[in-house]
């Protein structure tokens, strides 16, 4: 007589063991996946910076080694002459990204109509503030990078302005687009946000500012070089850049990065590097000055 053998199932203990194994594997794999994603985003950001500095050199090469009439810390374009003083991001866009990026809409008198809604090389994949606040969705040509205004204040000569050396001076760096708190209300709660163009009016305090750092006009932290030229310190002691801040905590007066490895920057010699968050403030700000004469040693 044939007998039917009962089918044995998983015990609760065996099931818990399997779940524990999966949990351990996930705990191992998730950080690795996140690390790979961050590395890819950092590489993309560095590629963006590389295109910017290469575009800067191409423009300068066509203009006898100089860059003129860019928006600076004391003079901004007004609505009647919006394009008279360009941001450097406007100047280099046809060289770094697309020659047709500033196509003006026929029949429009608004110069902002010529701005592409998004310019990919000006958006860092590591910037969490780009789409953080839906009230800022109207901003065209957002920018999550900043030009070093201590080195490009309206005029730049590659040979004369950068006497500290092209390899010792930061040209562009990551800077979060905005500091915005969606729980607050009112026009002034935006704080400031960076776009390719600066403000339309000189008395504008809140809202759009120039995509810049070390900018006197906006009360940024500035490099202060000693009289003997041997050292440079920040105007606010201890400040360099913010490392992985929450968006509402972003300080618009310094640079920011979300990357664990540090701050991606482009140097004037065309190279790109990542600055460690542990860098000494004297070394960092020595790389901001174009002609401080100090020695830059990490």
Residue range 24-40, pLDDT digits in tens: 777 776 676 677 788 89
In a domain? residue 13 = no
In a domain? residue 259 = yes
In a domain? residue 12 = no
In a domain? residue 51 = yes
In a domain? residue 116 = yes
Give residue 25's pLDDT: 74
Quote the number of domains for the chain.
1
CB 143 within 8 A of CB 194: yes
How far apart, in whole angstroms, are the C-alpha atoms of residue 28 and residue 49? 32
Element (H, E) at 48: helix 12-61
How many CA atoms lie less than 13 Å away from 187 in the CB half-sphere? 5
Give residue 81's pLDDT: 45
Which of 128, 118, 94 lies closest to 196 in space, CA to CA?
Answer: 118
Residue range 75-125, pLDDT digits in tens: 444 443 444 456 788 888 889 888 777 665 555 555 555 555 678 999 999
In a domain? residue 109 = yes
In a domain? residue 270 = yes
Whether the predicted pLDDT of 207 surpasses 50: yes
Highest mean pLDDT among 12-26, 203-217, 274-288 belongs to 274-288
Which of 143, 167, 178, 290 lies closest to 223 in space, CA to CA?
Answer: 290
> Which one is predicted more confidently, 12 or 278?
278
DSSP label of 39: H
Give residue 69's pLDDT: 72
Enclosing domain of residue 249: 23-286
In a domain? residue 103 = yes
DSSP label of 281: H
Token look-up 């000569």 returns: 157
Q: Determine the straight-line distance between the first and last CA of the chain, rounded to whole angstroms.
A: 87
The whole model's pTM is what? 0.83
């Amino acid at each position: 007589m044939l007998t039917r053998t009962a089918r044995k199932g998983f015990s609760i203990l065996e099931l818990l063991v399997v779940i524990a194994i999966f949990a351990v594997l996930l705990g191992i794999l998730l950080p690795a996946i996140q690390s790979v994603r961050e590395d890819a985003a950092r590489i993309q950001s560095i590629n963006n910076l590389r295109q910017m500095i290469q575009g800067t050199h191409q423009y300068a090469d066509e203009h006898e080694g100089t860059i003129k009439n860019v928006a600076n810390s004391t003079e901004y374009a007004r609505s009647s002459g919006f394009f008279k003083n360009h941001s450097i991001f406007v100047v280099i866009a046809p060289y770094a990204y697309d020659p047709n990026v500033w196509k003006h809409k026929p029949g429009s008198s608004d110069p902002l109509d010529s701005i592409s809604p998004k310019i990919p090389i000006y958006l860092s994949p590591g910037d969490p503030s780009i789409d953080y606040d839906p009230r800022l969705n109207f901003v065209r040509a957002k920018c999550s990078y900043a030009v070093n205004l201590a080195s490009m204040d309206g005029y730049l000569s590659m040979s004369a302005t950068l006497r500290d050396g092209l390899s010792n001076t930061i040209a562009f760096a990551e800077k979060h687009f905005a500091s915005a708190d969606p729980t607050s209300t009112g026009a002034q709660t935006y704080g400031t946000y960076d776009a390719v163009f600066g403000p339309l009016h000189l008395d504008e305090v809140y809202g759009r500012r120039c995509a810049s750092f070390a900018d006197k006009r906006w009360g940024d932290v500035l490099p202060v070089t000693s009289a003997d030229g041997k050292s440079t310190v920040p105007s606010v002691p201890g400040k360099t850049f913010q490392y992985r801040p929450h968006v509402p905590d972003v300080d618009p007066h310094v640079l920011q990065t979300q990357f664990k490895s540090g701050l991606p920057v482009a140097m004037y010699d065309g190279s790109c590097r990542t600055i460690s968050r542990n860098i000494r403030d004297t070394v960092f700000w020595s790389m901001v000055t174009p002609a401080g004469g100090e020695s830059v040693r990490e």
